[in-house]
Amino acid sequence: MSQADAKRLEGLIRDEPRSATIYNFVGLNELRNGRFDSALAYFKKAVSLAPDNSLLVYNLAFTYMQKKEFDKAIAGFEHSLQLDPSMGKAYTSLGNAWVAQGQTAKAKQYYQEAVRVSPNNKYAHYNLGQLEFNAGNTGVAINHFNRCIALDSKYVMAYLDLATAYASQSQFDKAIAAFQKTLELDPTQVEAHYYLGLIYKKQGQWKKAVQSFARVVAANPEDAGAHYNLGLAYQQTGMEAEGRRELEKACQLDPEACRQ
């Protein structure tokens, strides 16, 4: 924040010292810039001026969440829901807080509540998809990821996790399409290149596997697994020298790779 902006915000508070809206506005600015302690002070002031405003209570709780003060965050989110039981994002944030503490069963309940009160809550669908996939309920997870994508066609991580779920069920055509969409939206998602390479390797599409693993190696030169798989793919396409080079590199980075 520039010095001019800081002075402008200070002026707003000076002109409206009893305005919860102004304190909230400044708190949001501090939150966006990662100044959590400062944001807390402004949100506390805002809540003191308007204690029944569910959004202000939520913003205070959300800031505690960023500071990993989960007990205070949970209490704040619950308070915001007492003030406004229809606040879907408060249910989602409660779910996130419980996930952060390893309480996935509680988290699932809150994500489900978020979807109930706000069916178009893409974050709740995505988070439910992750929980269901990790629990082995892949079909249910796929439904949530697809719902998330229907709500936001540019949700990169939903495509990536959807692709991973499809791949785990050997639905490779769908997995490839989802990984490709991931990379179309965000070419830096190296994980998508890696998993595409594994699928192409499984299918015997060695030239495509070379392309995928080469992109991983270019992005992460210290990835022994990528070097190893690239070496195998090179060998399968008749590029023996390149294959040996990559396999040797894999062994240098991780001797265990040589024992595969």
Residue 201 located in a structural domain: yes
Q: C-alpha 210: how far from its chain's center?
A: 28
Residue 139 located in a structural domain: no
pLDDT digits (tens, 9 = 90+) for 60-83: 999 999 999 999 999 999 999 999
Domains of the chain: total: 1
| Closest C-alpha to 123, from 105, 149, 162, 84 | 149
Cβ atoms of 76 and 58 closer than 8 Å: yes
pLDDT class of 17 with cuts at 50, 70, 90? low
pLDDT class of 52 with cuts at 50, 70, 90? very high
| Closest C-alpha to 155, from 195, 192, 182, 127 | 182
More confident residue, 260 or 92: 92
Residue 203 located in a structural domain: yes
Residue 180 located in a structural domain: no
Residue 239 located in a structural domain: yes
What is the span of the domain harbouring residue 228?
A: 188-260
The yes-or-no verdict on residue 240 having pLDDT over 70 is yes
Q: With b meaning 16 or more CB within 10 Å and e meaning fewer, what string describes 23-43?
A: bbbbbbbbbeeebbebbbbbb
Verdict on whether the full-model pTM lies above 0.95: no
Q: C-alpha 168: how far from its chain's center?
A: 20
pLDDT class of 7 with cuts at 50, 70, 90? low
Residue 5 located in a structural domain: no
Instruction: Give the chain's mean pLDDT.
Output: 94
Predicted pLDDT at 19: 87
Interatomic CA distance for residues 38 and 40, integer angstroms: 5
Predicted pLDDT at 260: 56
The yes-or-no verdict on residue 2 having pLDDT over 70 is no
Question: Long-range contact list for 224-232, CB < 8 A, 24+ apart?
Answer: 224/249, 224/250, 224/253, 224/254, 224/257, 225/194, 225/250, 225/254, 225/257, 226/194, 226/197, 227/253, 227/257, 228/257, 228/260, 229/197, 229/198, 229/201, 230/197, 232/201
Residue 96 located in a structural domain: no
pLDDT class of 16 with cuts at 50, 70, 90? low
Cβ atoms of 176 and 170 closer than 8 Å: no
CATH number, domain with residue 244: 1.25.40.10
Mean pLDDT across 228-252: 96
pLDDT class of 255 with cuts at 50, 70, 90? confident
More confident residue, 42 or 13: 42
The yes-or-no verdict on residue 131 having pLDDT over 70 is yes
Residue 216 located in a structural domain: yes
The yes-or-no verdict on residue 160 having pLDDT over 80 is yes
pLDDT class of 98 with cuts at 50, 70, 90? very high
Interatomic CA distance for residues 138 and 119, integer angstroms: 21
| Closest C-alpha to 131, from 149, 121, 143, 119 | 143
The yes-or-no verdict on residue 5 having pLDDT over 80 is no
The yes-or-no verdict on residue 153 having pLDDT over 60 is yes
